[in-house]
Amino acid sequence: DFAMSIMPGWHITTFPPYFVAGALYSGCAAIMTLFICLRYFFRMEEYMTLNIMEKTTKLTFAIAMVWTYLNLIEFSATWYGHNIYDKELLLDKAYGPYAPIFWAMIFCGMVAPFALCFQKLRRHMPTMFVLSLVLQLGMFLERWMIVAPTLSLAQQPHQWDVLYGTIIEWGFVFGSFGWFGFLFLVFVKLFPSVSMYEVKELCFHLKHEIEEEELEKKLAAQKVGRPGLEGA
C-alpha cells in the first residue's frame, strides 16, 4: 500500500524487501528477549543453552546488515534522485523536528547490532537482553519514521505539521503491546514453550558431548599416571 502511493518517502521500489527484512529483524530481536525471559524465569538453562542463543544472535546480526543495506540504498537513491519532495523529506528527517528520532533509529538499528560481533557479548545474557530491547526500540522508531514524517510533510505547504500522535493513538500502541504480552503468557501457561523434537535433538548432542568430555578426561588421566613414558 505504501509503495503504490505517490506520497514522498513511500513511492520506493525497495519497500517490499525492506518491510520483509524489518519484520525478520524485529522478530529475531523479540525472540532474543523472550528467550532470555523464559530461560531466567522458568529455569530452562538446560534446554535454552548459550549455543542456541549465540546462533540466534548471529542470525539477528545477518538480518540487521541486510536491513541496514536496504536503508542505505533508500538514502542514496533519494539523495541522488531528481525528486525534490523526497529529498526535502530526507533532510527534514535528519535535521528537522524528527531528527532526534531519526538518529536514535540509526544508532539502535544500524550501529548497536555491531555489538553482536563479539563472542563475549553474545554469550552474556544480561547484555543480550538489553541489546535486544535496544534493537526493538530501533525498529519501532523506524516504523514511526516511515509514517509520521510523510504525513507531516505533504506536497502542499499549507498541510505541513508535526505529528506526535494523540492519547488515543498511543493507547492503541501500548494496548497492542499489552495484549501481545498477555496472550503470550497464556500460551506459555497452556502449551509447552519448548518443542519436544528439539529437546530430543538437544539431548542427543549433549550425550555425545558428555561422552567426548569423559574420553578426554580418561586420556588425560592416563598421561598423568604414566609420566615415565614421556622421558623414555
Q: What is the per-residue pLDDT for 232?
A: 45
Can you give the pTM of this predicted structure? Answer: 0.78
Report the number of distinct structural domains present in the chain: 3
Do 90 and 176 belong to one domain? no
Per residue in 173-188, pLDDT tens? 899 989 988 998 888 8
Do 95 and 199 belong to one domain? no
Do 27 and 140 belong to one domain? yes
Give yes or no for residue 19 having a pLDDT over 90: no
Amino acid in position 170: W
Domain boundary among 163, 186, 216: 163
Do 132 and 179 belong to one domain? no
Q: What is the per-residue pLDDT for 225?
A: 62
* Helix (H/G/I), strand (E/B), else coil: 21: helix
Do 91 and 173 belong to one domain? no
Which among 171, 168, 189, 191 is positioned nearest to 179, based on CA atoms? 171
CA–CA separation, 170 and 117 (whole Å): 35
Q: What is the per-residue pLDDT for 227?
A: 56
> Among 40-44, 162-166, 228-232, where is mean pLDDT lowest?
228-232
Q: How confident is the model at residue 218 (pLDDT cuts 50, 70, 90)?
A: confident
Do 94 and 30 belong to one domain? yes
Whether 118 and 76 have beta carbons less than 8 Å apart is answered as no
Q: What is the mean pLDDT of the chain?
A: 83
Do 210 and 145 belong to one domain? no
Domain hosting residue 188, numbered range: 166-194
Q: What is the per-residue pLDDT for 13?
A: 77
Do 2 and 88 belong to one domain? yes
Of the two residues 176 and 212, the one the predictor is more confident about is 176
Do 104 and 141 belong to one domain? yes
Give residue 165's region: left, alpha or beta (phi > 0; psi -120 to 50). Answer: left
Residues in the chain: 232
Give yes or no for residue 12 having a pLDDT over 80: no
Do 52 and 157 belong to one domain? yes
Do 16 and 118 belong to one domain? yes
The mean pLDDT value for 67-90 works out to: 85
Give yes or no for residue 116 having a pLDDT over 70: yes
